[in-house]
Amino acid sequence: MSQDVLEDAVSDREPDDRLQILDADGTVVAPALEPDLEAETLRAMYRDMWFSRRFDERMISLQRQGRVGTYASLAGQEGSQIGSTYALAEDDLLSFQYREHGAVAARGMPWEYLHYWMGHEEGNAALAEINVFPLNISIGGHLPHAVGWSWAAKLKGDERLCLVHFGDGSTSEGDFHEAMNFAGVFDTPTVFFCNNNQWAISIPREDQTASATIAQKAHAYGFDGIQVDGMDPLASYVVTNAARQRALEPRDGQLRPTLIEAVQYRYGAHTTADDPSVYRDDEEVERWRTKDPIDRFEAYLRNNEVLDAERIDAIEAEVDEALAALIDRAEAGERDPLAMFDDTYDELTPRLEEQRAALEALRNTHGDDELLDYE
């Protein structure tokens, strides 16, 4: 499919005309939009989706064992994260909230990323090496920064864009609207990628906005929005690919930004500190599981003889081995409790200096083993 055909197919859609290429059974329902990807690329996408799912399972297990801190699960959202990242160039910037571990995996996931979830801020800094901004905990707070970087890239003639991930809850924050407005006014090469997983902690999508879709919010700021099946990795790839083309080479009268609303579902809890059984039914979760992104992509690849049982077994074994090595490396990393003070401010305040000195004195007096003895 040519880039012009792809752009036309995406541009001509209404915000509520949800783009889908694979149905829940892995059958192609939009042959004209099916991307022409090499078998090796398709297998790599499947590998990274499977890695993301296994990473999720391992991280939740590690959190329950007290080996990592509070963790945000991605299960159910692998299709949008892997599909969208594969549509980017390696030097395009990624900015994410805190749930898009799959996007980091698709960029090679340094071991330091796990170190961050173990409480070490340097894990965030390591993401710069793979053109990923540090993850953001404040809801929507990273969106203006992503637009600012995009504007700077445009001013410098830097042929790159920034794709920024966020959840449906972020669309209720002022940062979202300020970023969208600025992107439209200054025509920045920004792709806004809303992971609409139906729940902002315990607030359902229908209580988040009276808009029929999140995608249509782009129209208020002068640019296009499109809704995509986020559990379809091929659809996520195609939409992001078209948005990237628009961001870098817009047609006459066309603005560079795009808002993508990826409709999907979060299978697990908001974080490991959350109990979703309080606010949603198991039946709802099971309905969405029938649309599972890994199952449908595997079915598609098997049907096209890109994958078979032997290859799948090899991928699963390689993923488990890679994950074990990452965890071992992260747990063997240097640990310094005093480092928690290093990144709060450029220079420590007097109060933080006092706190740091007090912790150091406690460690010198009692030793770390005694301080960590909970008996």
Reduce the secondary structure of the chain to three states and give it as a string. Answer: CCHHHHHHHHHCCCCCCCECCECCCCCECCHHHCCCCCHHHHHHHHHHHHHHHHHHHHHHHHHHCCCCCCCCCCCCCHHHHHHHHHCCCCCCEEECCCCCHHHHHHCCCCCHHHHHHCCCCHHHHHHHHHCECCCCCCCCCCHHHHHHHHHHHHHHCCCCCEEEEEEHHHHHCHHHHHHHHHHHHHCCCEEEEEEECCEECCEEHHHCCCCCCCHHHHHHHCCEEEEEECCCHHHHHHHHHHHHHHHHCCCCCCCCCEEEEEECCCCCCCCCCCCHHHCCCHHHHHHHHCCCHHHHHHHHHHHCCCCCHHHHHHHHHHHHHHHHHHHHHHHCCCCCHHHHHCCCCCCCCHHHHHHHHHHHHHHHHHCHHHHCCCC
Active site residue 265: no
> Active-site residue 302, yes or no?
no
67 is catalytic: no
Q: Catalytic pick from 13, 101, 120, 270?
A: 270
Active-site residue among 266, 267, 296, 300?
266
Give the Cα separation of 125 and 343 in Å (integer): 11
Active-site hit among 279, 287, 335, 366: 279
> Which residues form the catalytic set?
266, 270, 279
